[in-house]
């Protein structure tokens, strides 16, 4: 008997012993070798596996960073905050520390890049449609956790932009009625951003959010493998199976798509390495200039802005001024009125009425077109709310609501087809305007409030128009998706 035969038999015995106690082989078959995916995946389907890869990179590099990082805002003998000094120690004295730190900081931006592209693929191919609504909602949970993880981690270097960015963002929570002031104190752990805040954010960033994030990723994958993957045609491959129950238009995920994903991973790692070694700051977008200076509560940076992946939503916050509120109210009223007329569901009609009444009441007391209504003192839940909410509240509501709107896509899209391949010009135009508005909002969020395009076009009105276009993509989707002229979907997936 050859040596290889002996080794193979021993490995099979070990595998058999494990399978008797843990479903290793069964999981391998159900999730890899016998999980049948559509045979027409294109490059858009790289980004799901790339997101998983970046998550692993962030966890591994984060573990090594935690070995040397100290969440302490007190000053050391040199008068430098300990947290900031520990980051400098990692960068200068730890073997490979600069590489690890840049992998983690660049990985944060790359994570959002691949996640945004992954979400865009879901939008263009209708991956949120039935029966994948729960997959989409799990994905939205991952996105929200990712935003929280990035926000909490951004404070940890204890640089100037980290400190003041956290100060500004946490203060926004005070605009929430009733619970706002107490909530902001709870998040900070103090009345100002301090050592307590740093320790609290460290606990959230290192322990709490990653546990939730890993759980949601597992749920996302389990739900995906339960109903099967979507494809560029939007055709359900489970409708056509052979005598053995295998989809005619499906191929095993392993080895076919694992090999294909390895190619995508290789390209990604090349780009990732180029950024790490040659441009880790990303031109000031991945690591800001002000964050290379220790936090100073007595010196405010000239321009405080979040990292680039938050800037589209930050622009909506800034665009929501008292002058913009009447336009926003009119838009919400229009959308609610159209929905009330189009739907036959009693609960949806009631929701539309409540939305208009709530928004109108919320705006009541604001100066609209030069007219200030008389004061009212409504008491809701035993809390005196006075003359309505100010622009700051609506800006915070706009910023949070604009993220949550993605979760409504499975119920907003009324098109008879899933994929953009078979949708008409109306939907494609709406999607193009949405992408344009998102990019413009992201760009303007990185600029100072007084920025003007080419020194001529002020950025404020552009941000306001882009905000309306962003909201219109979601709010008007039930109508333009139903009115759109579509092509019939094929019975079987195509090879294009």
pLDDT, one tens digit per residue, over 317-356 is: 999 888 888 888 888 888 888 877 766 667 667 777 877 7
Structure tokens at 373: 């209504």
The whole-number average pLDDT for the span 215-228 is: 93
Structure tokens at 405: 């709107």
Does residue 56 carry a pLDDT above 70?
Answer: yes
- On whether the CB atoms of residues 418 and 126 are closer than 8 A, the answer is yes
Instruction: Give the pLDDT score at 383.
Output: 38
Q: Which residue ranges form the domains of the chain, and what is each CATH number?
A: 35-284+296-304 (1.20.810.10)
- Tell me the average pLDDT of the chain: 87
Q: Poorest-confidence range of 126-140, 364-378, 432-446?
A: 364-378
pTM of the model: 0.90
Cα–Cα distance measured from residue 151 to residue 165, given in angstroms and rounded to the nearest whole number: 9
Structure tokens at 275: 């950024």
Does residue 79 carry a pLDDT above 70?
Answer: yes
The whole-number average pLDDT for the span 17-30 is: 86
Highest mean pLDDT among 121-135, 311-325, 333-347, 440-454: 121-135
My answer on whether omega of the bond before 43 falls inside 30° of 0, hence cis, is: no
Where residue 368 falls among pLDDT bands split at 50, 70, 90?
very low
The whole-number average pLDDT for the span 59-83 is: 94
Instruction: Give the pLDDT score at 363.
Output: 60
Instruction: Give the pLDDT score at 373.
Output: 44
Cα–Cα distance measured from residue 125 to residue 261, given in angstroms and rounded to the nearest whole number: 19
Helix (H) or strand (E) holding 120: helix 97-124
Does residue 428 carry a pLDDT above 50?
Answer: yes
Q: Poorest-confidence range of 30-39, 134-143, 183-192?
A: 30-39
Instruction: Give the pLDDT score at 376.
Output: 42
- On whether the CB atoms of residues 258 and 48 are closer than 8 A, the answer is no
Instruction: Give the pLDDT score at 341.
Output: 76
Where residue 366 falls among pLDDT bands split at 50, 70, 90?
very low
What backbone torsions phi and psi does residue 364 show, to the nearest 5 degrees?
A: -60, 130
Instruction: Give the pLDDT score at 184.
Output: 92
Highest mean pLDDT among 54-63, 172-181, 184-193, 245-254: 54-63
Cα–Cα distance measured from residue 327 to residue 469, given in angstroms and rounded to the nearest whole number: 12
Per residue in 286-324, pLDDT (tens digit) is: 998 889 999 988 888 888 888 999 999 999 999 988 888
Q: Rounded to an integer, what is the distance from CA 331 to the centroid of its chain?
A: 25
Q: Is 173 helix (H, G, I), strand (E, B) or coil?
A: helix
- On whether the CB atoms of residues 272 and 143 are closer than 8 A, the answer is no
Instruction: Give the pLDDT score at 450.
Output: 84
Where residue 153 falls among pLDDT bands split at 50, 70, 90?
very high
Rg of the Cα atoms in the chain: 26
Burial of 405 (0-12, 13-18, 19+ CB in 10 A): middle
Per residue in 384-424, pLDDT (tens digit) is: 333 456 677 888 888 888 999 999 899 889 899 999 999 99
Does residue 242 carry a pLDDT above 60?
Answer: yes
Instruction: Give the pLDDT score at 244.
Output: 83
Instruction: Give the pLDDT score at 374.
Output: 44
Instruction: Please give the C-alpha separations between residue 289 and each of 84, 149, 301, 312, 316, in angstroms, as whole numbers.
Output: 14, 22, 11, 21, 24
Q: Return the percentage of the chain with pLDDT > 70, whole number.
A: 91
Instruction: List residues bridging with 457 in a β-sheet.
Output: 453
């Amino acid at each position: 008997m050859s040596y290889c035969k002996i080794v193979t038999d021993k490995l099979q015995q070990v595998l058999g012993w494990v399978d008797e106690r843990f479903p290793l082989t069964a999981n391998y078959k159900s999730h890899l070798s016998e999980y049948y995916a559509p045979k027409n995946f294109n490059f858009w389907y790289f980004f799901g596996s790339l997101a998983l890869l970046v998550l692993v990179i962030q966890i591994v590099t984060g573990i090594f960073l935690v070995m040397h990082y100290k969440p302490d805002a007190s000053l050391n003998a040199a008068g430098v905050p300990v947290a900031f000094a520990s980051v400098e120690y990692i960068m200068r004295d730890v073997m490979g520390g600069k590489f690890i730190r840049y992998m983690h900081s660049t990985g944060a931006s790359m994570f959002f890049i691949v996640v945004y592209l992954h979400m865009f693929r879901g939008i263009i191919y209708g991956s949120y449609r039935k029966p994948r609504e729960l997959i989409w909602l799990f994905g939205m949970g991952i996105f929200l956790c990712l935003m929280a993880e990035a926000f909490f981690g951004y404070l940890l270097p204890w640089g100037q932009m980290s400190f003041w960015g956290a100060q500004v963002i946490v203060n926004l929570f005070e605009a929430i009625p009733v619970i706002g002031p107490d909530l902001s104190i709870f998040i900070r752990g103090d009345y100002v951003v301090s050592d307590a805040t740093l320790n609290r954010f460290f606990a959230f960033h290192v322990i709490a959010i990653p546990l939730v994030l890993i759980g949601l990723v597992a749920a996302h994958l389990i739900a995906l493998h339960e109903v099967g993957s979507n494809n560029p045609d939007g055709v359900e491959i489970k409708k056509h199976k052979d005598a053995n129950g295998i989809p005619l238009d499906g191929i095993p995920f392993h080895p076919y798509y694992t090999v294909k994903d390895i190619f995508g991973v290789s390209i990604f790692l090349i780009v990732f390495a180029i950024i790490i070694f040659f441009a880790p700051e990303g031109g000031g977008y991945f690591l800001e200039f002000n964050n290379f200076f220790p936090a100073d509560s007595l010196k405010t940076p000239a321009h405080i802005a979040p990292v680039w992946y938050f800037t589209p939503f930050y622009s909506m916050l800034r665009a929501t001024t008292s002058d913009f509120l009447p336009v926003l109210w009119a838009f919400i009223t229009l959308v609610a009125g159209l929905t009330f007329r189009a739907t036959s569901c009693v609960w949806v009609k009631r929701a539309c009425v409540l939305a208009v009444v709530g928004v109108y009441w919320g705006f009541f007391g604001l100066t609209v077109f030069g007219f200030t209504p008389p004061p009212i003192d409504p008491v809701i839940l035993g809390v005196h709310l006075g003359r309505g909410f100010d622009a700051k509240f609506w800006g915070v509501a706009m910023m949070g609501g604009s993220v949550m709107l993605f979760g409504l896509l499975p119920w907003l899209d009324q098109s008879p087809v899933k994929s953009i391949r078979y949708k008409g010009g109306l939907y494609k135009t709406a999607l193009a305007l949405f992408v344009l508005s998102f990019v413009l909002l992201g760009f303007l969020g990185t600029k100072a409030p007084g920025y003007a395009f080419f020194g001529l076009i002020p950025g404020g009105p552009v941000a306001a128009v882009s905000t309306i276009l962003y909201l219109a993509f979601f709010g008007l989707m039930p109508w333009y998706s139903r009115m759109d002229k579509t092509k019939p979907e094929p019975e079987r997936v195509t090879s294009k």
